[in-house]
Amino acid sequence: MNTVCVILAAGLGKRMDSNLPKVLHKVCGIPILQSVTDTARKLKTGKIVVVTGKHGNLIKKALDSPDISYALQEEPKGTGHALMCAKQDLTGFQGILIVLNGDTPLVRAETIKKFLKLHMKNKDAVSVLSFRAENPDDYGRIVRDASGQLLSIVEQKDADAMQKKIHEVNSGVYAINHDLLPLLDNIKINRKKGEYYLTDIVAAALESGLKTSAYCIGAEDEFMGVNTREELYRASMFMKKKLIEKWAGKGVTFLDMDSVFIHAGVTIGKDTTVYPNVYLEGRTKIGRRTTIYPNVRILDSEIGNNVVIKDSTVIEGSTIKNRATVGPFARIRPGSEIGTEARIGNFVELKKAVIGKASKASHLSYLGDTRIGQGVNIGAGTITCNYDGKKKSMTVIEEGVFIGSDSQLIAPVNIGRGAYIGAGSTITKNVPPFALAISRVEQKTIKGWAKKRQAILNADTKHKGKRQKGNHAK
């Protein structure tokens, strides 16, 4: 059966009190609406249409998805009107129209697939996915007759006293056969709100003698709509919990599940251990048997197998290869690559730096715009001076080089294979392979200088004391 998915995302989201459309606020690292479109893709529909409002351009830019079509609802006239705005994109379509809401980031494809099977099995013209709400006040009520047949969906503001006691509510997910689309034109405006309710398509179908059903198969948390910051937080915590449970079920150890924050695009290998207060963000990939210690943040990076990331380290847009060690208190900036068995220690900062196999920079160094070969030792306090105020230049350090502590390498410069740089040197010229480069001022030792200086200081102190005493006598 052919299917098309229409996602209603034209709401203004005024209760978010934000210049950003509510559907672009993020839950576990991805926009709310992207979470819904990801679910729609899992349904393998023939087309995805997103109905937007005045923020349409922002939404298109944020999603940046060529497989999505967009329809514009110029005025916020309700969900029924929003679907009407998508009719042009559905011209000639034959099959089942799936309607989702753009502000429900927790909806699962598995639930929608189950719902569609029931819709097709029972040959409904219109089906509604429902669930039981502990507090139904914010939802439309599912009204059934004595036999359980769906009669209508009544919004809270229009419900009578008996209907308000109903706990089965509308999730906002519909399956509508294509030949019912003309019924959208029969939906009448709700006078209290000045809007066209999509819920009224049920009544319109029944009036035409068509079969309608509501399937109570959803869970309340899954269909949580995000309209406020508090709801955004709740949705984020719910999704985070599910993500951590998922990876724990695949062999990952979390020492404190509540304090770890993980994005939906993150993957983690078996037998990896994650300590408290760790943030794994974006499209980060963590390998197997890796250990991530407390207070670490990793964004859009690839971490290999058997890697150790020590406390309070930040890694962004970089690659850490197998058996490497990073931290504590290291900063790995975008474009860096740390090779197999390499070691980057405390208070070391990398920026667009490629570190070769088994090389090490153990402490207190800045390595920017740098290519470092295998087996290199970077002494404490080493700086690659990559910026001259106008442009950035490369420093190349070939394999087996030893850089003494407190050295400055002024780019562009090349340190040849096996060369040694004496501690405290400022290197401005290329160093040939296996050479020793030293650039220090010759040390001078002046014997007795400290004693002479102390004598001068003591004499000066006594002189000041006499002057102050004389001034007081006057």
Place of tokens 């099977």: 117
Report the alpha-carbon distance of residue 334 to residue 21 in Å, rounded.
Answer: 29
Report the alpha-carbon distance of residue 107 to residue 373 in Å, rounded.
Answer: 49
Place of tokens 């309700």: 78
Compute, in degrees rounded to 10, the torsion defined by CA atoms 249, 254, 259, 262.
-50
> Coil, helix or strand for 116?
helix
> Coil, helix or strand for 126?
strand
User: Residue 29 region, left (φ>0) first, then alpha (ψ -120 to 50), else beta?
Assistant: left
463 annotated active-site:
no
Question: With contact defined as beta carbons under 8 Å apart, do 141 and 214 qualify?
Answer: no
Q: Which of 55, 119, 363, 472 is catalytic?
A: 363
Report the alpha-carbon distance of residue 375 to residue 361 in Å, rounded.
Answer: 11
Please list, in sequence order, all residues whose beta carbon lies within 8 angstroms of the beta carbon of residue 472, skipping any fewer than 6 positions away: none
Asked if the bond preceding 412 is cis, omega within 30° of 0, the reply is: yes
Active site residues per annotation: 363
